[in-house]
C-alpha cells in the first residue's frame, strides 16, 4: 500500500509538472489552433532566467523566500516577454497562412531558442539553487511526497482554478473564448483580436515560467535542452485531456504522470513512454477528441 501511495504521489507530482506546461500549450492551441512547439523553450527560458536572477541575488544575502518570490516574478516577466515577442515575429505574419506553415515556424523557433541559450549560456547542466526548503509538517511524509512536490501540486491546482475563472468570467477571458471560436466574428464585435492573442501567449508563457521555476527547483538542475521533452510530454497531455480545454490539460497531464509512474513501478521503466503513448492511442480511439475535449463532429 505504501508503495502504491509512493507511486501515486510520484505520478501526481510529475503530472502536475506536465500540467503547468500543458496549460500554456492548450491555451495557445485553443485560440489559434497552433501546436506551439516553442512553448517548451519558453519554459526553459523561464528556468534559465530564474537561475540567473537567483545567482545575481545570492550576492545580496536576502532570505530564501524573498529570493524565491523575486526570481519567480522576474522569470514570469521574461517568459511572457519572450512569448509575446515570438508570437509577433513567428506566428502573427502567418495568421492567414496554411496552418502547417505556422507549425514549421514553431519548430524553427524552438531550434533557434535552444541554440540561442546554448550559445549565450552553456551546454552544460547547471545546478539550480534550492529555493523551497523542507517544510517541517511534511517531515513525516517525506518518503511519500517531498515539499517541493507538494508546492508543485498545489501551484498547479491553483493555476488551473484561477485560469478557469479568468477564462470564464473576465472580459478578456470572454474575448479569448470568442476569438478561439470565430476570429472574424470577434473582430466584428469590436474585440481586438491581436491583443487577445498576445494576451493568450503572455498568460500561457507566464504559466510555463512558473512551471520552469518550480520544476528547476524540484529537480535541482537545468540545461538548454530541458524544454524539448517537457514540451512533447505536455503536448501529449494536452491532447489526451482534449486540447483547448483547461481542466482537460490538467487531467491529461495527471493521467500521463500516473501512467508513467505506475508502469515504472509495477512493470518496467524501460517501456514507460511506450505505455504512455499506447494509452494515448487507446484513449483517442475511444474518445477521438480527448477526455474532456469538445466534440469536433461537424454538423453536416
Partner 1 sequence: ADTIKLGVAGAHSGDLASYGIPTVRAAQFVVDEYNKNGGIDGKKIELLVEDDECKPEKAVNAATKLMSQGVDVVVGHICSGATKAALSIYLSQMIPVISPSATNPALTQSGDYPNFFRTIAPDDAQARLEVDFAVEELGLKNIAVIHDKGDYGKGLAQFAKKFIEETEGVNVALFEGVTPGALDYSAIVQKIKNSNADGVIFGGYHPEASKIVTQMRKKEMNIPFISDDGVKDETFIKVAGKYAEGVYATGPKDVSSNPLAKEAEKKHMEKYGEQSGAFYLNGYAAAQAILNAIDNADSTDPQKVMQAMRTNYVETPLGKIKFDEKGDAIGVGFSVYQVQNGEYVELNY
Partner 2 sequence: MFSEIKKSLLVSVWFMFLTFPIMVIKVNTIENTIIWRWENLVLIGLGSFFLSFLWRFMHNKKATKRRQDYKDVLSKLFYDNLIENKKVFIPIVAALIIFILLFPKMFSTYQVTIMTTALIYVVLGLGLNVVVGFAGLLDLGYVAFYAVGAYTYALLNFNYDISFWIALPLAGILGAMAGILLGFPVLRLRGDYLAIVTLGFGEIIRLVLENWGEFTHGPSGIAGIDRPNFGFDLSIVGSINAIYYFVFFFVLVTIFFTNRLQNSRIGRAWVALREDEIACQAMGVDKTKTKLSAFAFGATWAGFMGAVFAAKTTFINPASFTFLESAIILSIVVLGGMGSIPGVILGALILILLPEYLRAFSEYRMLIFGGAMVLMMVFRPQGLIKSKRRRYNLESMSKKKLKERQNAASS
Partner 3 sequence: MLRLNNVNTFYGNIQALHDVSLEVKEGEIVALLGANGAGKTTTLMTISGIVPPQTGEIFYNKTPLHLMKPDEIVKLGVCQVPEGRHIFPHLSVSENIDLGAFLRRDKEQIRKDVEYVYDLFPQLAVRKNQLGETLSGGEQQMLAISRALLSKPKLLLLDEPSLGLAPIIVRQIFDIIKQINRESKTTILLVEQNANLALQIADKGYVMETGKIRLSGDAKDLLNNDDIKKAYLGGV
Ligand X SMILES: Nc1ncnc2c1ncn2[C@@H]1O[C@H](COP(=O)(O)OP(=O)(O)OP(=O)(O)O)[C@@H](O)[C@H]1O
Binding to partner 2 (CB under 8 A) within 165-224 occurs at none
- Grid cell locating 211: 512551471
Site for partner 1 in 51-90 (CB under 8 A): none
Using CB under 8 A, pick the residue from 237, 249, 260, 280 that binds partner 1.
260
Query: Can you say whether the dihedral through the CA atoms of 259, 260, 263, 265 is positive or negative?
Result: negative
Using CB under 8 A, pick the residue from 90, 214, 226, 255 that binds partner 2.
90
Hey, which bits of 78-166 come out as E strands?
126-127
Site for partner 1 in 150-169 (CB under 8 A): none
Nearest distance, CB of residue 295 and ligand X, angstroms: 8
**d(Cα 228, Cα 14) in Å, to the nearest integer?**
16
The answer to the question of residue 225 lying near partner 2 (CB under 8 A) is no
Please identify, using beta-carbon distances, which residue of 89 and 161 lies nearer to partner 2: 89
Nearest distance, CB of residue 299 and partner 1, angstroms: 41
**d(Cα 206, Cα 212) in Å, to the nearest integer?**
10
Question: Which residues lie below 8 Å from residue 8, measured CB to CB, with a gap of 6+?
Answer: 258, 261
Q: Which residues of 34-46 are buried (b: 16+ CB within 10 A; e: fewer)?
A: bbbbbbbbbbbbb
Site for partner 2 in 239-268 (CB under 8 A): 239, 243
Contact 291, 244 (CB under 8 A): no
The answer to the question of residue 123 lying near partner 1 (CB under 8 A) is yes
Nearest to 157, CA basis, from 12, 16, 7, 8: 16
Stretch that binds partner 2, among 19-27, 63-71, 138-146, 287-295 (CB under 8 A): 287-295
Which residue's CB comes closest to ligand X?
299
Size of the site for partner 3 (CB under 8 A): 18
What is the C-alpha end-to-end distance of the chain, expressed in Å? 51
- Grid cell locating 224: 538548454
Hey, which bits of the chain come out as E strands?
126-127, 221-222
The answer to the question of residue 81 lying near partner 2 (CB under 8 A) is yes
Using CB under 8 A, pick the residue from 265, 275, 284, 294 that binds partner 1.
265
What are residue 127's DSSP bridge partners? 221
- Grid cell locating 123: 551546454
Using CB under 8 A, pick the residue from 127, 161, 162, 189 that binds partner 1.
127
Please identify, using beta-carbon distances, which residue of 63 and 190 lies nearer to partner 3: 190
Please identify, using beta-carbon distances, which residue of 88 and 177 lies nearer to partner 2: 88
Site for partner 2 in 96-155 (CB under 8 A): 97-98, 100-105, 107-117, 119-122, 126-129
133 three-class SS: coil
Neighbouring C-alpha atoms within 13 Å toward the C-beta of 98: 3
Nearest distance, CB of residue 166 and partner 2, angstroms: 24
Contact 30, 239 (CB under 8 A): no
**Which parts of this chain interact with partner 3 (CB under 8 A)?**
171, 174-175, 177-178, 181-182, 184-185, 187-193, 294, 299
**Which parts of this chain interact with partner 1 (CB under 8 A)?**
3, 6-7, 9-11, 13-14, 17-18, 115, 118, 122-127, 130, 142-143, 146, 149, 215, 218-221, 223, 225-226, 228-230, 233, 260-262, 264-265, 268-270, 272-273
Amino acid at each position: 500500500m505504501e508503495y502504491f501511495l509512493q507511486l501515486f504521489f510520484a505520478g501526481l507530482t510529475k503530472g502536475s509538472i506536465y500540467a503547468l506546461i500543458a496549460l500554456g500549450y492548450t491555451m495557445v492551441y485553443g485560440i489559434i489552433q497552433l501546436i506551439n512547439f516553442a512553448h517548451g523553450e519558453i519554459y526553459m527560458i523561464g528556468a534559465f532566467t530564474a537561475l540567473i536572477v537567483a545567482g545575481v541575488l545570492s550576492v545580496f544575502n536576502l532570505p530564501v523566500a524573498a529570493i524565491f518570490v523575486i526570481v519567480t516574478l522576474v522569470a514570469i516577466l521574461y517568459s511572457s516577454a519572450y512569448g509575446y515577442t515570438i508570437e509577433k515575429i513567428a506566428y502573427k505574419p502567418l495568421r492567414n497562412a496554411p496552418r502547417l506553415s505556422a507549425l514549421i515556424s514553431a519548430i524553427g523557433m524552438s531550434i533557434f531558442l535552444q541554440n540561442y541559450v546554448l550559445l549565450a549560456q552553456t551546454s552544460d547542466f547547471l545546478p539550480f539553487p534550492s529555493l523551497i526548503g523542507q517544510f517541517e509538517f511534511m517531515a513525516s511524509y517525506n518518503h511519500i511526497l517531498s515539499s517541493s512536490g507538494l508546492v508543485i501540486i498545489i501551484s498547479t491546482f491553483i493555476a488551473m482554478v484561477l485560469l478557469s475563472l479568468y477564462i470564464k468570467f473576465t472580459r478578456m477571458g470572454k474575448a479569448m473564448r470568442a476569438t478561439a471560436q470565430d476570429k472574424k466574428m470577434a473582430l466584428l464585435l469590436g474585440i481586438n483580436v491581436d491583443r487577445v492573442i498576445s494576451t493568450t501567449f503572455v498568460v500561457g508563457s507566464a504559466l510555463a515560467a512558473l512551471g520552469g521555476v518550480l520544476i528547476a527547483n524540484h529537480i535541482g538542475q537545468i540545461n538548454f535542452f530541458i524544454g524539448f521533452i517537457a514540451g512533447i510530454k505536455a503536448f501529449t497531455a494536452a491532447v489526451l485531456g482534449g486540447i483547448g480545454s483547461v481542466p482537460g490539460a490538467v487531467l491529461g497531464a495527471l493521467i500521463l504522470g500516473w501512467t508513467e509512474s505506475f508502469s515504472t513501478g509495477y512493470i518496467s521503466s524501460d517501456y514507460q513512454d511506450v505505455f504512455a503513448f499506447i494509452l494515448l492511442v487507446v484513449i483517442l480511439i475511444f474518445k477521438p477528441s480527448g477526455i474532456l475535449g469538445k466534440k469536433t463532429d461537424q454538423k453536416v
